[in-house]
Amino acid sequence: MKKTLPIIFIVLIALVIFFLTKDTTVTNSNQSEIVINNQIANVALPTNETLEVANPTDFFPPLTQVDFRVTKKAFGDYITPADSPIQPERFQGYHTGVDFEILTDELETDVPVRAICSGKLLLKQESNGYGGLAVQDCQIEGELVSVIYGHLKLSSITLDLYQEIIKGQTIGLLGNNLSSETDGERKHLHLAIHKGTDLDVRGYVSSRADLDNWLNPCLYVCQ
């Protein structure tokens, strides 16, 4: 009996060590899975960041239901009077912005245009090709840009020059269809983003290389 007790004691110790080792193994296994998942998340992060650049949360759509609006002229489209989707056409060149068309029930109603970002109002005036025009400064990835809003009703822009505009704040209303408020153009919004601090409001440029000075607005306000 005395010889049996040490054997039993040794067996019990062995069993305790076995179960403790088994639990530790499971715990370590779970921890390894967590580490692996974290590594996978880290690998996927650049892809998520790319998506966030395409649809950043710090920009605001200039019009309601922006994703339901037809874009007849996209950024970089080469437009000529012969093959333009809008007829008759009087312009030619590479389109520097995006045209957001009105919805079917907006032809005779006021359509507010909102600031896509925060920044000062740099310009509000009548301009050839636009009618009413507003320009504000903004920052994209730490770089200064100018945001151009074309075909606005100038009298609806009640903000003062150099007044700070908060993203989502109404800048003005779209001009009336085929009127002086749009310089005879259809009722729509021309939205463009020009790099740097130079004030350039051209709706078209003559060469594709000139487009390097512009950004595609849909990268920031389209979903």
Mean local confidence (pLDDT), 175-189? 97
70 and 48 share a domain? Answer: no
Return the percentage of the chain with pLDDT > 90, whole number: 69
Mean local confidence (pLDDT), 193-207? 96
141 and 32 share a domain? Answer: no
Flag whether 61 is in a domain: no
Average pLDDT score over the chain: 81
Flag whether 59 is in a domain: no
* Domains in the chain, number: 2
The pLDDT tens digits for 84-107 are: 999 998 999 999 999 999 999 999
Reduce the secondary structure of 106-168 to three states and give it as a string: CCCCCCEEECCCCEEEEEEEEECCCEEEEEEEEEECCEEEEEEEEEECHHHCCCCCCCEECCC
The pLDDT tens digits for 117-167 are: 999 999 999 999 999 999 999 999 899 999 999 999 999 999 999 999 999
Distance (Å, rounded) from C-alpha 173 to C-alpha 192? 17
CA angle 193, 199, 205 (to 5 degrees): 65
16 and 124 share a domain? Answer: no
Amino acid of residue 172:
G
Given a cut of 60, whether residue 56 has pLDDT beyond it is: no
Given a cut of 50, whether residue 32 has pLDDT beyond it is: no
pTM above 0.95, yes or no: no
Mean local confidence (pLDDT), 61-74? 92
